[in-house]
Structure 1
Amino acid sequence: MRSKIFMYMFIFMLMLTIFIYVNDKKILEAKQNTIELLDAKVKGLQTENDSLLSKNLDLNYFSLDQNDGAITYFEDRGIDAKELSQKVEDAIISRNRAEDDNELIPFAGMEGVMRINKVKILNHKWIIADFTDGTYWGELLLSYDLDENNNLILNTEKSFLYPQD
């Protein structure tokens, strides 16, 4: 009788061991598949990130921050390009008035007051800006320079309004 109990216990332990082995193998394979999927996803995201970084560099090609020649131009005159960039943007946006059109925009507001919304400094001489009155909008190209006292001189070179559909 004792030998039968040991035999049944042995068979039970053997079946339990096989069950645990098969179960653990399935769990391990599932985890491995998850790891492979996540690795593929990470590689895809890294590729997308590299692509976006490259695109960002291309988009910032015409930017004072990325233009070494323009930065050197200002450094040779003893001017910090980052400070000047902020000063120029502030000077342009500060010309937006509560009741009057911005004097840099050569169009009168038809549905409101014309205001400059966004400014991008391209280099040491050119700025592009976006303006609107709430209904009509356009863009303008500005030139800028500093006089001998480092006062900012802004001139509107070209501008246009987008046609209303």
Structure 2
Amino acid sequence: MILFQYVNAKRVFEDMDNKLSKYKSQLVKYKDSVSVLEEDIMEVSHFNLNRNEDAISYFEDQGYEINELIPFIKDELYKLNEVKGDHPIVPYAASEDRKMMINTVKLLNHKWIIADFSDGEYWGEIFLTYEITENKELKFNLVEYFLYPFN
């Protein structure tokens, strides 16, 4: 009976040890994956207002709450999509029966924005500067733009 218990316990122990070894190797892989993803996130977020302490300080020194200001700036840019006729910022005409609209906006810092636009057939990107005037008005200035070639 003791021999049976010993053999059975040894087999269970070896099985658990094998499983533990597999889990440890998976854990190492996962930690490596997380590390790579963290590095990617840091690289992608380098030009990002949310992570730029100097740009955040610039706005906070002027009395703005950054968590409210970023959505406000984006919303004001998206509101330009609702203007009748040609888009006031996108310098390209839309294809027939369509409208150029800004789709994605990224605030790089306290002065620069990049955005993409499309009418569903043609698409491109724009580089803008922006400022908040002393009268608390938001002004956008188109600096650079391009339209991807249509294939």
User: Fold match, TM over 0.5?
Assistant: yes
Q: Provide the aligned length of Structure 1 versus Structure 2.
A: 150
* 8 Å CA contact 1:144, 1:153 repeated in 2: yes
Query: RMSD of the alignment, in Å?
Result: 1.5
Identity of aligned residues (%): 38
Per the normalisation by structure 1, the TM-score is 0.85
**Dislocated runs of 4+, deviation >6 Å:** none
The amino acid that maps onto 2:11 is: K
Give runs of aligned pairs for residues 124-163 of structure 1, distance below 5 A: 124-163=110-149
Q: Secondary structure at the match of 1:94?
A: helix
- CA distance in 1 between counterparts of 2:130 and 2:41 reads 26
- CA distance in 2 between counterparts of 1:21 and 1:100 reads 84
Q: Look up the match of 2:8.
A: 23
- CA distance in 2 between counterparts of 1:156 and 1:40 reads 52
Q: Look up the match of 1:53.
A: 38
Q: 2:48 aligns with which of 34, 57, 63?
A: 63
Query: What is the Cα deviation at residue 161 of structure 1?
Result: 0.7
Per the normalisation by structure 2, the TM-score is 0.92
- CA distance in 1 between counterparts of 2:85 and 2:14 reads 70
Q: Which consecutive residues of structure 1, in runs of 5 or more, have no partner in the other structure? A: 1-15
Q: Look up the match of 1:38.
A: 23
Q: Secondary structure at the match of 1:28?
A: helix
Q: Which consecutive residues of structure 2, in runs of 5 or more, have no partner in the other structure? A: none
The structure with more radius of gyration: 1
